Amino acid sequence: LGFVGAGIVIPFYCLKKLPSYFHYSLPGVILLVGAGIAMFLLYRSRHDKAVFGVLVGMAAAAFLYTTSVIFPVANDFQSGRFLSQEVSAQMQPGDQLGVYRKRVGVYNFYTGIVPIAQLRNEKQLFRFLQSAGRVFCLVEAKALAAFQAKGIMPANVRIITERRVDDDMMVLLSND
């Protein structure tokens, strides 16, 4: 019954302390109350293994919800969501997106763009930026500064925006 009690208290706490995040608490309430009632009923009917299964399932659901929804909301700078939204707003059908020396998974997830070109070295990056069609590329600001210091950036490339993702400042480039 502790889960049911927590499920009832959490929305009131969120409503009082964090009203703009109230709607994020509702799936947690459903999870806690549902799991609490299920565990109570299963325990009363002596289904101990099923109680453990509900507990493990609840923990897994809480982990997935926390890592995919709560963490990006709680710390915007750790998430690629806002940069991905800007990328999506800039791109049109037929445009391509590349990411230089970073994982593409977070950008696949938030933009819905598949495939995203994973550019592993300078040669691939410059070839991608000199493509015939319009392309966009996410590059770490430090790498971009190094390219500019060397004077090797293509002339047609322009910076669209910069955003912090994890501990890195990421720059969105385009060749138009």
Rounded-to-integer distance, Cα 142 and Cα 21, Å: 34
pLDDT at residue 79 above 80?
no
φ, ψ of residue 7 to 5 degrees: the values are -65, -30
Q: What is the pTM of this model?
A: 0.61
Tokens of 33: 């109350």
Query: Tens digit of pLDDT for each residue in 130-172?
Result: 999 999 999 999 999 999 999 888 888 999 999 888 788 999 9
- Report H helices in 18-95: 22-44, 48-65, 71-74, 81-90
Rounded-to-integer distance, Cα 24 and Cα 72, Å: 12
Confidence of residue 80 (pLDDT cuts 50, 70, 90): confident
φ, ψ of residue 92 to 5 degrees: the values are -125, 165
What is the model's pLDDT at position 78? 65
Query: Tens digit of pLDDT for each residue in 48-62?
Result: 999 999 999 999 999
pLDDT at residue 77 above 70?
no
